[in-house]
Amino acid sequence: MKPIKPTKIKTRKSNDIHEKLTAAEMGKLWATYTGNTMANCVLEYFLQHVEDQEIKKVLEDALTLSKTLVSSIKEIFVQENFPVPIGFSNEDVNLGAPRLFSDEFYLHYLKYTSKAGMSIYSIAVPLMIRKDIKDFFIHTLDSTVQLVTQINEVAQQKGFYVKPPIIPNPQKVDFVEQQNYLTGFFGDIRPLHALEVAHLFDNIENNVTSKALLLAFSQVAKTDKVKKLMLRGKDVYGKLIM
């Protein structure tokens, strides 16, 4: 298993030609900063209760990466005189809350959030103009790929990994010739193709994780309003899974 070695990006030297952040750079840095401050809170809570040492190591690596990203982005914002987002902090997590999840769930959650992060980082790379920001997102994407590889390896070793469905090989090369290929509710119903199966599997995996997360957090919510909102979300995800 290749160890993750998160490193801070090199910031621009003071004598470099000043190039202001674009809207894309601002937005992607903001989203990455905010998301990883939330990850810090959740992972620190998970580490209060994890028992399996291999899963604990994955959580620790994920937390180290998340903290490194937050620190690097904060440095960029300060350098650019950009207001540092409030994000999530120790005030947003109760580390003394009772255990809500099994060790297995921690791996499913990490995979879920890693995929969400990778979607942000991969789209960011071609949109970044400044070299330091582009290098940051390339490094962030690469580190997250390493993390999700580590997650999958441990999940497979533990017997927790659920493989996507296997479908028969096609008998021949075929082409779409008519728009009725898109029919699904009326007329002839064709079999799902591989990409549709893949996306449905991925959506179900994400929705199951989201439902479990909302159900658990609803049990420790401090206000009725928040509890009702989480239970509503749990019901929505339940309907999507069915």
pLDDT tens figures, 54-90: 999 999 999 999 999 999 999 999 999 999 999 999 8
* Pair 33, 116 in one domain: yes
Has residue 227 got a pLDDT over 90?
yes
Q: Which residue has the higher pLDDT, 181 or 42?
A: 42
Q: What is the DSSP letter of 112?
A: H
Neighbours of 69 (CB within 10 A): 28
CATH code, domain with 148: 1.20.1260.10
Q: pLDDT tens across 167-195, in order?
A: 999 899 988 777 766 666 566 777 888 99
The encoded tokens of residue 222 equal: 């401090």
* Pair 134, 241 in one domain: no
Q: How many domains does the chain have?
A: 2
* 185 lies in some domain: no
CB of 4 closer than 8 Å to CB of 143? yes
* 25 lies in some domain: yes
Has residue 9 got a pLDDT over 60?
no
Terminal-to-terminal C-alpha distance of the chain: 36
How far apart, in whole angstroms, are the C-alpha atoms of residue 16 and residue 198?
Answer: 46
The secondary structure of 133-178 as a DSSP string is HHHHHHHHHHHHHHHHHHHHHHHHHHT-PPPPP--PPPSS-----S
* Pair 149, 236 in one domain: no
Mean pLDDT, rounded, for 218-242? 92
The range of the structural domain enclosing residue 139 comes to 21-161
* Pair 116, 217 in one domain: no
144: left (phi over 0), alpha (psi -120 to 50) or beta: alpha
How far apart, in whole angstroms, are the C-alpha atoms of residue 173 and residue 170?
Answer: 7
Q: pLDDT tens across 147-167, in order?
A: 999 999 999 999 999 999 999
* Pair 149, 96 in one domain: yes
| Helix/strand/coil (H/E/C) assignment for every residue in 186-226 | CCCCCCCCHHHHHHHHHHHHHHHHHHHHHHHHHCCCCCHHH
Has residue 51 got a pLDDT over 90?
yes
Q: pLDDT tens across 203-221, in order?
A: 999 999 999 999 999 998 8
Has residue 40 got a pLDDT over 50?
yes
Q: Which residue has the higher pLDDT, 97 or 126?
A: 126
Listed range (13-27, 45-59, 107-121, 202-216) with the worst mean pLDDT = 13-27
